[in-house]
Amino acid sequence: MRILVINPNISEIVTNLIAQESRRVASPGTELLFATAPFGVEYIETRMEALIGGYAAACVAAERQGEYDGVIIDAFGDPGLLGIKEMLNVPVVGMTEAALASACLLGQRFSIIAISSRIKAWYLETVERSHLTTRLASIRSLNDTLRSIGTVQEDHAKRLKELALEAVEKDGADVIILAGAPLAGLARSLEGQLPVPVVDGVSSAVRHCESLIALNPGYAVQGSFAQPPLKPNKGLPAALAALLDRTR
């Protein structure tokens, strides 16, 4: 099976982190393809940036349609996810929803550890979209300015681990989610150092996307995830228009 892993942002360095962690966990026989958004921002902290990243991810998914059996949208917050699910007839998995699925299977209440305080509102709203706020113990975050988006986990390893411990001890978290593609692989590095299970969104997404492809549940031709009804459009990237027009 071939899975297209899309970084909805322009940061190649984050795509590399994603690729490293994804390859480690992929099953034999899974071919992973990686794509970086051709336009957008370095990383997403806000709803506006998510709007851009979501649209960019949709364009990438349309452009490469035909190359894959499943798609992963690999930014925490799942930009554009539900729209892209409608557009494609293969499983599309978001990094956050994948992390939440893992976390819910490992405990009743989870905390999210984030890389900036600004990002917290966007993450909260992502959890709301999954209707899981009552299982969210807390969102805790770094408050420092980031030196580089590619080195967050090295630069802030100690503080990130402290935040996770606080979530367990003060907020009652049963499970910790280390959030954001820039933290891909940190859960692996922290193995055995935290007193509760630790979830990584990037690797969870790979495994869950593989599972959905393997389970072969079929796709929607009716209901709210069927492809959008045919109607006039204009000015869209050719691949996107072709998908909406069913001409490819």
153-212: contacts with its own copies (CB under 8 A):
168-169, 172-175, 187, 191-192, 194-200, 203-204, 207-208, 211-212
Q: Which one of the spans 12-20, 127-135, 155-163 is the region binding its own copies (CB under 8 A)?
A: 127-135
Residues 6 or more apart whose CB falls under 8 angstroms from that of 169 comprise none
* Helix (H/G/I), strand (E/B), else coil: 140: strand
Q: Is 64 in the site for its own copies (CB under 8 A)?
A: no
Report whether 57 contacts 8 (CB < 8 A).
yes
Q: Give the type of residue at 199.
A: V
Residue listed under structure tokens 């692996």 = 188
Q: Is 122 in the site for its own copies (CB under 8 A)?
A: yes
Q: Is 248 in the site for its own copies (CB under 8 A)?
A: no
Residue listed under structure tokens 């940061």 = 11
Q: How far is the CB of 246 from its own copies (least distance, A)?
A: 13
What six digits make up the tokens of 17? Answer: 């982190």
207-246: contacts with its own copies (CB under 8 A):
207-208, 211-212, 214-226, 228-229, 231-236, 240, 244
DSSP assignment of 126-164: HHHHTT-GGGEEEEEE--SPPS-TTSHHHHTHHHHHHHH
Interface residue with its own copies among 77, 91, 180, 182 (CB under 8 A) is 91
Contacts with its own copies: how many residues (CB under 8 A)? 100
6-35: contacts with its own copies (CB under 8 A):
10, 25, 27-28
What six digits make up the tokens of 197? Answer: 């299970």
Of the two residues 145 and 158, which places its CB atom closer to its own copies in the complex? 145
Q: Give the type of residue at 138.
A: S
